[in-house]
Structure 1
Amino acid sequence: MKSILNIAAYLFVSLDELPELRAKMLDECNSRELKGTILLTGEGINLFLAGKEAELRGFLDWVRADPRFKPLEAKESWSKDQPFKKMLIKIKNEIIRMNHPAIQPKEGRANFISPKKLQEWLDRGTDDLGRPVVMVDTRNAFEVDYGTFENALHFNIEKFTEFPQAINAHKEELMDKTLVSFCTGGIRCEKSGLYMREIGMQHTYQLEGGILKYFEEVGSAHYKGSCFVFDEREALEPNLDSIPLENSIRKKLIAG
């Protein structure tokens, strides 16, 4: 029986007094025996947590009682065992580093598309206006190796800071296409979507909630493989189960 609830969530919002906020959150997490990682920055929060359902939902209620975090939405999955070894809360400069300070998702989001609507577009290969749809994978190369959308464009990057240069190199050939950027949970696409608009690529969207939300609402349609996650489960299948041991890329690499 899978009794451990796992959540992934983020929110771009202006935050201050981060050391005090960190101390309060850490006390709450420890008192509820939660484990995982929370990143706190001046531009928002990013978290991956796991624990017993009542305790984790109680923590989310506590967080959302702060008006700044009221819109926080979480992607959910379940596991038999606790996938994290400890509870960490880190203070960082950016939720996800891009090295483009002008890109500020807290000031306004990129256009987004729901998983169900994206499935409609992919079923017929065009958007509602008849433009070809191209999926743009913003993740790192090792993540793409686990799985991605069929015929998705990816750039074999090693870190997200390489994305702007990579997409610029393909700007002209993609200008007349409808682009849908995607990542694990949506956070990288908040910045990549805004960046693509900034450089003049107007027909761009981000997949709302990322691959994990797509798995939750749609499943495996138009997706091949699994999705790497940043915990001990390694990767999730489209049914949100962890990948079988025999399919583990990480364990195969270790074994040589």
Structure 2
Amino acid sequence: MKPYRVLLYYIYTPIENPAQYREEHHLLCLRLNLLGRIIVAPEGLNGTVSGLTADCEAYMAALHADPRFATIDFKVEEHDHHAFQKLHVRQKEEIVNSDLPVNPLEQTGKHLEPEEFRRLKNDPDVVLVDMRSNYEHSVGRFKGAVTFDMENLRELPEHVHEIEHLKDKKIVTYCTGGIKCEKASAYLLSRGFQNVYQLHGGIIKYGLEAGGEDFEGQCYVFDNRLTVDVNHVNPKVVSTCYRCGKTTSRMINCASPACNNHVTLCDDCGWEHAGTCSDACKEDPNLRAYDGTGYYSKQSEGYTPALGFKSRKGQESAELRQ
């Protein structure tokens, strides 16, 4: 058993004073030596954190003891070490950026547990729809799923016409941990789709609880692992190297900070091209040192773990506006 845990979770629940709770939550994470990214908003809580097993257990117990968060469904993965290098607890308007005019507490697609999803996914009346960004589904997606060429969920309204002809089908949405589907499925319902479902807990929970059957490739995650294996039944690589075209599921961030594109890059091209996605990026005078992982911690001037961005005047408020 590995000594660390990575926790992925979200919950839509009213938080009356998100600024105050952000402070409380930050202190909780500091006390438990957790690292990661957490968003606090009036509509709820969304986070991915890593820490030693005992610290993660204490964190989950603390949140479940709060009536607002008693029903949080944690996705728990084992890891050899921290999956993050810093702790960021931010206050924002939404726990996932969407700008969609919906409220998941009022209406959302029917939740399918992993085993239900596994049984239903091959039904000829079912259409799987990926609600993730293009760089996420480029490295892994469910067999036969519809994907959209979008950078983020805010662009969903621009792509709904691509599945308008499927309104008589059972639409099953999915994403990494389930959070995007809460709003995406609600939006589809508002657009006249009748039979809308969502994979509860997302790809990660499906892999943990149902073996990940028919998820082809790897699942992109928002920590320094970049991608994780999900399918333990019939795995298949579906992505190719951005540079040479060789089959690979290896995802990196371009070493050029001016680019920072998320691309698949085979190990050979990674070393040959210093972790860059193009020759122009390779000439960037601020090129980051490539260490074989393709992950680079975001540089945060004025950041301290205990205070976040408070030590740099105006930085925290700027972060909150993003």
Q: Distance in 2 between matches of 1:26 and 1:227?
A: 28
Matched to 2:50, the amino acid is A
**CA distances 1:178-233 after superposition (whole Å, capped 9, x unpaired):** 11000000000000111111111111100011000110111231110110000000
Q: Does 1:161 align with 2:160?
A: no
Structure 1: unaligned runs, 5 residues or longer: none
Q: Distance in 2 between matches of 1:158 and 1:40?
A: 23
Q: Report what 2:224 is aligned to.
A: 232
Pairwise CA distance, 1:164: 2.1
Q: Report what 1:38 is aligned to.
A: 38
Q: Report what 2:280 is aligned to.
A: none
Pairwise CA distance, 1:249: 2.2
Pairwise CA distance, 1:161: 0.5
Residue 34 of structure 2 contacts residue 51 of structure 2 at CA under 8 Å; is this kept in 1?
Answer: yes
Q: TM-score, normalised by structure 2?
A: 0.72
**CA distances 1:117-152 after superposition (whole Å, capped 9, x unpaired):** 111123xx32xxxx6111000000000011000010
Matched to 2:51, the amino acid is G
Q: Distance in 2 between matches of 1:164 and 1:176?
A: 19
Q: Report what 2:96 is aligned to.
A: 96
Residue 213 of structure 2 contacts residue 231 of structure 2 at CA under 8 Å; is this kept in 1?
Answer: no
Pairwise CA distance, 1:46: 0.1
Residue 216 of structure 2 contacts residue 231 of structure 2 at CA under 8 Å; is this kept in 1?
Answer: no
Q: Does 1:5 align with 2:5?
A: yes
Give the secondary structure class of the aligned counterpart of 2:118: helix
Q: Distance in 1 between matches of 2:49 and 2:87?
A: 8
Matched to 1:53, the amino acid is T
Q: Report what 2:169 is aligned to.
A: 177
CA RMSD in angstroms comes to 1.8
Pairwise CA distance, 1:108: 4.1
Pairwise CA distance, 1:167: 1.5
Give the secondary structure class of the aligned counterpart of 1:216: helix
Q: Report what 1:83 is aligned to.
A: 83
Q: Does 1:196 align with 2:198?
A: no
Structure 2: unaligned runs, 5 residues or longer: 238-247, 254-264, 278-322
Pairwise CA distance, 1:50: 0.5
Pair 1:46–1:111, CA change in 2 (3 A):
same
Give the secondary structure class of the aligned counterpart of 1:73: coil
**CA distances 1:15-58 after superposition (whole Å, capped 9, x unpaired):** 12112111111111111111001100011000101101111111
Q: Distance in 2 between matches of 1:106 and 1:176?
A: 25
Matched to 1:168, the amino acid is H
Bigger proportion of residues as helix: 1
Q: Distance in 1 between matches of 2:72 and 2:212?
A: 26
Q: 2:136 aligns with which of 136, 139, 143?
A: 143
Residue 14 of structure 1 contacts residue 106 of structure 1 at CA under 8 Å; is this kept in 2?
Answer: no
Q: Distance in 2 between matches of 1:30 and 1:239?
A: 34
Q: Report what 1:248 is aligned to.
A: 250
Q: 1:134 aligns with which of 115, 127, 131?
A: 127
Residue 8 of structure 1 contacts residue 48 of structure 1 at CA under 8 Å; is this kept in 2?
Answer: yes
Q: TM-score, normalised by structure 1?
A: 0.90
Q: Distance in 1 between matches of 2:162 and 2:217?
A: 27
Q: Distance in 1 between matches of 2:134 and 2:46?
A: 22
Q: Distance in 2 between matches of 1:37 and 1:4?
A: 16
Equivalences, count: 244
Q: Report what 2:203 is aligned to.
A: 211
Pairwise CA distance, 1:110: 2.3
Q: Distance in 2 between matches of 1:13 and 1:106?
A: 8
Q: Report what 2:285 is aligned to.
A: none
Q: Report what 2:49 is aligned to.
A: 49
